Structure 1
Amino acid sequence: MRRGVYLLEEVEFHPMNSRRPLEYLKWLTDYKREDDRRAAGAAELTAGMSIRSREIDLVGAFYAVGITGHPQFKVVTLWDCHGGWAGGWRQMLEIYDDVQRNLFLSDIDDLRFGAYSRPLGAAPGSPAVADLLADGYAAPLYVFESARVRPGAVLDYLAAVREERAPLLADHGHRLVGAYEVQFCDAEAVVLWGTDIDAHLALQRARDAALGLDDEVAPDHRLISWRKRAREFLDGPWRETLLSPYPGSKLAPR
């Protein structure tokens, strides 16, 4: 079994023009929907849309919820490299062979302000997004977690997330979608959870109650214990933000 390889991209739009994220999401999901109809292995570098391939699969396109703590406006995308390193990842690398002119042409020039890409390797026990999609899974809300851990401790942290945190959050209506080791560094982890608004709110209140800050709901002290446990691995910032799936993307409800 090959390790799952993914690409996470965070795209920002400045100045603050609220139409630009929508234009980008529509453009991206429309052309990738066309790519789903391409033959397997038929990768092509084209002018305007870069590489066309079904093996570079846009599985998630999200509008980042600005009130949860990041620069506005932002889009987050998750790509599944079918076939792993030797499949979709290789196809993405091949577009840099000879640095062809097509590489510098794009239909979305001047639309994005900046983009930050992170290659991800699935940790042991991480769900395969393709399997989730085959089962018809989608959520109306996602939680995007990024964590800076001690160098070399990423897989240990993700094992604790899978074994200890995932069952806890499942009790609060959150499903583990992916647990990833950021590649080409040894100190960053990314975790993606699927949930809904009601479950998100109930989780926050259960944590508040455990801190003695809400006496109207039942506390869940395991949430506080997990944060203490997580600090055994952390060596820098840990942050969660919320993502709303764009209609028509694969991880969005139909």
Structure 2
Amino acid sequence: MRRGIHLLEEVDFRPMNSRRPLEYLTWLTRYKQEDAARAAPELTEGMSIRSREIDLVGAFYAVGITGHQQFKAVTLWDCHGGWEGGWRQMMEIYSGVDSRLFLSDIDDLRFSAFSRPLGAVHGSPALSSARPSPLFVFESASVRPGAALDYLEAVRAERLPILRDHGHTLVGLYEVLFCDTEVVTVWGTTLDAHLATQRARDAALGLDDEAAPDERLLTWGKRARDYLSGTWRETLLAPFPGSRLSPTPARSS
């Protein structure tokens, strides 16, 4: 089995205009639904590479109050066939720097976009098997140089059972490629499970005497510091209707 190769992109919209993320996510999910029927990849004007092997698995509106820049979209892509599949198709469009690369139907809609190429590690579920959830937890962490795989293995062995007990489902454990200092994990959950987890941690800290404490949440936080070298952050993502990870169907136009 080939390694899973994926792409996670964060898109900002400025000046702050709440309609722009809606326009972008609506545009993106509609055209990727059309791509599911494509027989072969094609470089097109206005939409760049169109391919069923470059699969939009998740399109999300970032929940700004959990630590994201306000008005942000996040997308999660699966390169079917790994390096020699969807990844090759994305790279081939740069051959000759075709002028169609510089045309987009969404010019001036996005302010900036930042992409992370991701490689799945041992114990990471196949992204094709990910199930819809009402909420997703997106973790990005800076680790000591060379510690990415060790950290992700610790997450699989030690943190996964804790979060599973708190109603979280593992979507993916990912090494950020072309660097050795960053990892990404993604989890599916519900609002009730998210709130209960936070209260269990508060109770373990002695800050909530009405909830059952789970000391394992604090133990993991200390354990993670064996690998971390900088920023660690979890934020929440709300799946956009019509994306594969959303339990809500696409809105009618």
Task: Please state which band the TM-score falls in when normalised by the shorter chain.
Answer: over 0.9
1:210 aligns with 2:208: no
Query: How big is the shift at 1:129?
Result: 1.2
Give the 5 Å matches for 1:111-122.
111-122=109-120
The residue that corresponds to 1:155 in the other structure is 149
In 1, the alpha carbon distance for the partners of 2:214 and 2:16 equals 39
The code of the aligned residue for 2:142 comes to R
One-letter amino acid matched to 1:82 = H
Secondary structure of the 1:181 match is strand
1:131 Cα deviation from its structure 2 partner: 2.2
How many equivalent residue pairs? 248
Q: Which letter maps to 2:209? A: D
Q: Which consecutive segments of 4 or more residues in structure 1 shift more than 4 A?
A: none
Aligned equivalent of 1:126, options 100, 114, 124: 124
1:180-209: per-residue Cα shift (whole Å, max 9, x none)?
Answer: 000000010000000010000000000000
Alignment of 1:1-254 (within 5 A): 1-39=1-39, 42-132=40-130, 137-254=131-248
Deviations 1:32-77 (A, max 9, x none): 00000111xx111000001010000000000000000121110000
Deviations 1:83-131 (A, max 9, x none): 0000000000011000011000000000000000010000111001112
- Secondary structure, aligned partner of 2:233: strand
- Following the alignment from structure 1 to structure 2, what is the Cα–Cα distance between the partners of residues 70 and 246? 16
Unaligned stretches of 5+ residues in structure 2:
249-253
Tell me the equivalent position of 2:251. Answer: none
Output the CA distance in 2 between the equivalents of 1:84 and 1:155: 19
C-alpha RMSD of matched pairs (Å)? 0.6
User: Cα deviation per residue 1:233-254 (whole Å; 9 max; x = unaligned)?
Assistant: 0000000000000000001114
- Using the size of structure 2 for normalisation, the TM-score is 0.97
Q: Scaled by the length of structure 1, what TM-score is found? A: 0.97
% identical aligned pairs: 75
